[in-house]
Chains A and B, each alone.
Chain A
């Protein structure tokens, strides 16, 4: 059986997310208290580096390393951004964090922001997350009343403002440079790197962008120490499709896809036979039954597809998604995602020609190798796997 330690989901469903008192009763904000009284930013950084915490949004960059880069910058003005854009299809773990226990997230943001030396923090929220926005707004107001936020936090020298920036519906805004562009009032297109956001991010100031799930781990790490986290690290999984239990689950990091499906998901729904699983959202690889014994990576979304599914509808969903979400900045992606969708439509209509099949190879190669940001690469993943593993062209 999977280890039952809960770091992020511990209080879900047990406390009222709209009342800070409930969170305080279960020991909430004691990590912030510990930080203010007994620690300093350098000590927090050490603990976070020791914990080996990595970005939970999908890319998996070391959180401690990212913070260190910003802490080393001399600029007086720094920003901390909580990335809650979460537009990867099939992923809604961060929304659940915000809706079920917003104070854990806030506590994490406060400690993280103060550690890197920011006085202003943004939560970049997915534009469709209305309920999460309401919950977070109330949580912020209550945290201010209790002096966890604002000027002189808990009568210390630290101060911090948190502002919610609600996005307007764009997949690419989950990418940190695009997200920064979006807050600055621009099109949410990615910027060329370097300079990295850690040097010149929001308003050209050093900026840390961390995923909400990453941040939600911080209070626990401060409370229990980075060393203890190494053995207990968890990851949120989002199970969807034809599994018995659909939803968000917390399990030890490194849990295999197979275990996630059978133990968290409770196996397949009655009468349905496993075909393949798409891991990591619309940009994720497809895994056949024999390939499931690998540790879960990426954003944590697992879409389980059974044999009755219409692969052509899925193909149109994937290609249509990336065609819509391609920002249009670079030609390979703008044209590539468009043509990919066109060919998928012809394939579905049964009108695919030999010419299309040859073009498909070119388009996929171009997307994989020449686009400005990873979106192009993502667009090719599922289609490539569907050709190689499911044989959709045969």
Chain B
């Protein structure tokens, strides 16, 4: 597969210094959606670090996934401003729509997560679906968004 070719390419963009580890992990995450164990191994070899060290760093940050992500990733901002704009209600609507619960990993295809403030409070509530951010989402407009993806 082409994948094995490109991870080496990504790594070669970075000098194997510790200060580039997080940046390299972010880039791999952006290309593949998550850091697989095999990929983490390659990163460890390239940076000459133990595999555990790579995981230690990778698992810490919100923007890096160490597990395969779901087909449909919905993230709802739960900062104070978005909550005042009813983001908690929006979460409940999404939970009902897919019959899931925020934070659970039981649904094979859909995952819903509450996330921390993205610093876009004036445009809130913010809902991020598969990386695309929707602004000023309401209890009813969320259905238009979900219908788009759920088909």
Contacts and interface: CB of A to CB of B under 8 A. Distances in A.
Interface of A: 86-92, 95, 126-129, 165-171, 182-189, 203, 238, 240-242, 246-247, 278, 281-282, 303, 305, 309-310, 313-314, 316-318, 320-321, 324-325, 327
Given A168-B25, A282-B80, A90 B116 contact: no
A127 B63 contact: yes
Interface centre among A183, A241, A317 (most CB of B within 10 A): A317
Please name the 3 residue pairs, one residue from A and one from B, whose CB atoms are nearest each other, closest first: A169-B62, A185-B21, A168-B61
Given A313-B88, A320-B114, A240 B122 contact: yes
Contacts of B25: 168
A265 B48 CA distance: 53
B40 to A, nearest CB: 14
A185 B80 contact: no
A131 to B, nearest CB: 10
Nearest to A241: B84
A204 to B, nearest CB: 12
Given A86-B119, A127-B61, A186-B57, 9 more contacts: A87-B117, A87-B119, A167-B63, A169-B64, A203-B19, A246-B121, A317-B79, A321-B117, A324-B116
A90 B81 CA distance: 6
B60 A327 contact: yes
A266 to B, nearest CB: 14
Interface of B: 18-23, 25-26, 47, 56-57, 60-64, 78-81, 83-84, 88, 114, 116-122
B21 A89 contact: no
Contact of B116 (A95, A171, A189, A246): A171
Contact of A90 (B18, B47, B80): B80
Contacts of A184: 18-19
A281 B60 CA distance: 22
B60 A170 contact: yes
Given A127-B26, A185-B18, A187-B60, A92 B120 contact: yes
Nearest to B133: A128
B80 A128 contact: no
A325 B80 CA distance: 15
B63 to A, nearest CB: 4
Nearest to A126: B119
Contact of B62 (A89, A168, A241, A278): A168
A167 to B, nearest CB: 8
Contact of A168 (B18, B64, B116): B64
A141 B86 CA distance: 41
13 contacts: A89-B80, A90-B79, A126-B119, A168-B25, A169-B62, A169-B63, A186-B18, A188-B60, A240-B122, A246-B121, A282-B117, A314-B80, A317-B80
Contacts of B20: 185
Nearest to A163: B19
Contacts of A186: 18, 56-57
Given A127-B26, A241-B84, A321 B78 contact: yes
Nearest to B80: A303
A313 B119 contact: no
B88 A170 contact: no
A75 B32 CA distance: 42
A307 to B, nearest CB: 12
A238 B114 contact: no
A89 B81 contact: yes
A95 B80 contact: no
A101 to B, nearest CB: 17
Contacts of A314: 80, 83-84
A168 B118 CA distance: 12
Contacts of B21: 185
Given A170-B61, A241-B81, A310-B88, A89 B116 contact: yes
A95 B119 contact: yes
B78 A305 contact: no
Contacts of A87: 116-117, 119
Contact of B61 (A169, A305, A320): A169
A185 B84 contact: no
A239 to B, nearest CB: 9
Contacts of B116: 87, 89, 169, 171, 321, 324-325
Contacts of B61: 127, 167-170, 188
A87 B115 CA distance: 12
Contacts of B64: 168-169
A100 B112 CA distance: 33
A188 B78 CA distance: 22
